[in-house]
A and B are shown apart, each in its own frame.
Chain A
Amino acid sequence: MTSTTFQHTRYVISENLVTFGAFALFLVLTLFAIFGEAIAPYDPLASNAAAALQPPSAAHWFGTDQLGRDILSRVMVATRLDLGIAVMAVALSFLVGSLLGTCAGYFGGWSDRIISRCIDTLMAFPLFVLAMGLVAALGNTVANIIYATAIINLPLYTRVVRSEILVRREAGFVEAARLTGNSEWRIMARHLFPNVLPVMMVHISLNMGWAILNAAGLSFIGLGVQPPTPEWGIMVAEGATYIVSGEWWLALFPGAVLMMAVFCFNLLGDGLRDLIDPRMRT
């Protein structure tokens, strides 16, 4: 089985250059997230007034900021925080959303009505404003950014899982599972939910990009992560004031990396679906 999985992975990646590019980029981002601090050329927090606002050069590839900190190092180190927030938020909303969606779709009736109405209520708010409100109310911590991002993503997961479960609820294999002595909970968890996963992978991946953007957006407007912590949103916000005076690199590089990360996750979705769906293996 493992050799066929490997062959299949190789096939999916080699057959589609875009997927290949997305996977490569994802690998780079993961490496930065894990080893960012070790491989960064400079200390991301060490300021050096003598080297402030230097344009990109051989010594500082992305230039330096107003305090003389190396932007490349800061961008690399920030990867862990930004990806971390996104992964945690997506994982949280995926878990809770899947549970709610599976219950709503499988049991129908009252549980469906209650869950669906709650989700509708959540969706009635402008989501980013809701996230701002939540962080402002709960306090400026990384954990609260994660909670806020998770809550505003909850409707997506709940709705997608609910509809996917709904179409499979009457399938023959569910009846068969009941005949072979599975309890209702077991049917939901072991038989129905795994079949929803391939579809969910695409959503998770798209949502990751969105969650990164959301976390960076909150930091950009001053909520959430506080300076001097290296974080893409803060770096863009701080750099934005220097664009007018000609120091474009302060905002451009963190912004470009942020964009690449979002782009990468959006492209990854299709590739992941092909990987995880056994029907795509031949």
Chain B
Amino acid sequence: MTLHQSASSTTATDTVTAQLLSVENLDVEFRTRSGTVKALEAVSFAINPGETVGIVGESGSGKSVTAFTLMGVLDRAGKVANGKALFQTDRVAVDLLREPESSLRQLRGKELSMIFQNPRTALNPIRKVGKQITDVLRCHTDLSGDALRDRAIEMLASVRIPDPEQRYDAYPYELSGGLCQRIMIAIALACAPKLLIADEPTTGLDVTTQATVMNLIKDLATQQQMAAILITHDLALASEYCDRIVVMHAGHVVESAPTHSLFRAPRHPYTAKLIAATPEPHKAFADLIPIAGNLPDLKATTIPPCRFSQRCDRYEPALCDQAPLTRQQPVPEHHVACWKPLE
């Protein structure tokens, strides 16, 4: 039924235990004034230690909801209806969705960190950036006094901020967007987390800044043996920095594969269409093909079992009206949730 179950049924159990995070059958619902929105349905994926995984999808695909659910900062209207998210800490595996808030607070910032889309709003505007780094350190380490300050300056230097000593006393408004995002990264990585969730970390930034910020995340991840989830709408960006990519559409995981395999031979029609719609340096205008149709209404009582079926040109009545089955493709590690995948 799901990606994870099919994966575990075919791979040895020891690889399952080695996973840093395994999300299984996650259902998230939002209560709204006009009905319940099934924002996520049966979302499953896994992250290995040290791996960078991209979650790619358009707005409304549920990629940010996934991140917020994992961090336990879901909006009050949202509710986890079903599912597990097992996170491997030093000692035990904890279920992030069932853990009490007090122990989640111990995990957040220390083992599990997040970078937000807009660094300017995510940073406290009236607190010096250095202090904002020491706040995290104070919560999760035994450092104090000058040691705290030294460690914060060290963090600023590690995210390649020029003149870290002076910048320690700067306020967010005195820094450019790129520098603010680096401060966010310094805060997120202050306690050397095992997993970093980056939600559109470069969306408001310029391409040149985007490249430096992404390279920084990638380098630090390699240095610290840290796994990262990169949430983005930019397929090309994900292709450059991720080992594996999970493609989401309307709250479903439609495809999950190693990056090279996904781009060489996408199996899900949506992934193929997404690639065709992305402008590329050597793509002709005629080859830029829009995706027809809209996301299905997730408030409706009868959402088609395959949520892409209404936009899909491979749709076949009886066949596709069953719930999309996840099959393992000939290529190892390449999963696709489609009844008529591309060959």
User: In the complex, A touching B, CB below 8 Å?
Assistant: yes
- CB within 8 Å of A: which B177-230 residues: none
The CA-CA distance from A15 to B33 in the complex, in Å, is 10
Let me know if A282 is at the binding interface, CB within 8 A.
yes
- CB within 8 Å of B: which A267-282 residues: 282
Number of contact residues on A: which range applies?
Answer: under 10
A141-159 CB mask vs B (1 if < 8 Å, else 0) is: 0000000000000000000
A116-154 CB mask vs B (1 if < 8 Å, else 0) is: 000000000000000000000000000000000000000
- CB within 8 Å of B: which A1-32 residues: 15
Let me know if B34 is at the binding interface, CB within 8 A.
yes
In the complex, what residues of A have CB within 8 A of residue B34's CB?
A: 282
In the complex, what residues of A have CB within 8 A of residue B33's CB?
A: 15, 282
In the complex, what residues of B have CB within 8 A of residue A282's CB?
A: 33-34
Overall SS of chain B's interface: loop
The CA-CA distance from A282 to B33 in the complex, in Å, is 9
Q: Closest approach, in angstroms, between the C-beta of A31 and any C-beta of chain B? A: 31
Q: Closest approach, in angstroms, between the C-beta of B108 and any C-beta of chain A? A: 33
The CA-CA distance from A15 to B34 in the complex, in Å, is 12
Residue of A nearest to B32 (CB): A282
Q: Closest approach, in angstroms, between the C-beta of A280 and any C-beta of chain B? A: 9
- CB within 8 Å of A: which B24-51 residues: 33-34
Residue of A nearest to B34 (CB): A282
Q: Closest approach, in angstroms, between the C-beta of A19 and any C-beta of chain B? A: 14
Q: Closest approach, in angstroms, between the C-beta of B81 and any C-beta of chain A? A: 23
In the complex, what residues of B have CB within 8 A of residue A15's CB?
A: 33
Q: Closest approach, in angstroms, between the C-beta of A214 and any C-beta of chain B? A: 37
Q: Closest approach, in angstroms, between the C-beta of A278 and any C-beta of chain B? A: 15
Q: Closest approach, in angstroms, between the C-beta of A171 and any C-beta of chain B? A: 18
Residue of A nearest to B33 (CB): A282
The CA-CA distance from A15 to B32 in the complex, in Å, is 13
Q: Closest approach, in angstroms, between the C-beta of A261 and any C-beta of chain B? A: 31
Residue of B nearest to A11 (CB): B33
Residue of B nearest to A280 (CB): B33
The CA-CA distance from A55 to B29 in the complex, in Å, is 59
The CA-CA distance from A206 to B6 in the complex, in Å, is 60
The CA-CA distance from A282 to B297 in the complex, in Å, is 14
Residue of B nearest to A282 (CB): B34
Q: Closest approach, in angstroms, between the C-beta of B37 and any C-beta of chain A? A: 12
Q: Closest approach, in angstroms, between the C-beta of B30 and any C-beta of chain A? A: 14
The CA-CA distance from A282 to B37 in the complex, in Å, is 14
The CA-CA distance from A142 to B33 in the complex, in Å, is 46
The CA-CA distance from A282 to B34 in the complex, in Å, is 8
Q: Closest approach, in angstroms, between the C-beta of A107 and any C-beta of chain B? A: 27
The CA-CA distance from A133 to B17 in the complex, in Å, is 81
Q: Closest approach, in angstroms, between the C-beta of B243 and any C-beta of chain A? A: 40
Q: Closest approach, in angstroms, between the C-beta of B34 and any C-beta of chain A? A: 6
- CB within 8 Å of A: which B129-148 residues: none
- CB within 8 Å of B: which A41-88 residues: none
A248-282 CB mask vs B (1 if < 8 Å, else 0) is: 00000000000000000000000000000000001
Q: Closest approach, in angstroms, between the C-beta of A101 and any C-beta of chain B? A: 27
The CA-CA distance from A202 to B34 in the complex, in Å, is 25
Q: Closest approach, in angstroms, between the C-beta of B60 and any C-beta of chain A? A: 16
The CA-CA distance from A130 to B34 in the complex, in Å, is 49
B34-75 CB mask vs A (1 if < 8 Å, else 0) is: 100000000000000000000000000000000000000000
Q: Closest approach, in angstroms, between the C-beta of B300 and any C-beta of chain A? A: 14
The CA-CA distance from A6 to B228 in the complex, in Å, is 50
Q: Closest approach, in angstroms, between the C-beta of A62 and any C-beta of chain B? A: 42
Residue of B nearest to A15 (CB): B33
Q: Closest approach, in angstroms, between the C-beta of A274 and any C-beta of chain B? A: 11
User: Which B residues lie at the A interface, using CB under 8 A?
Assistant: 33-34
User: Which A residues lie at the B interface, using CB under 8 A?
Assistant: 15, 282
A-B contact pairs, 3 of them (CB 8 A): A15-B33, A282-B33, A282-B34
The 3 closest A-B pairs by CB, nearest first: A282-B34, A282-B33, A15-B33
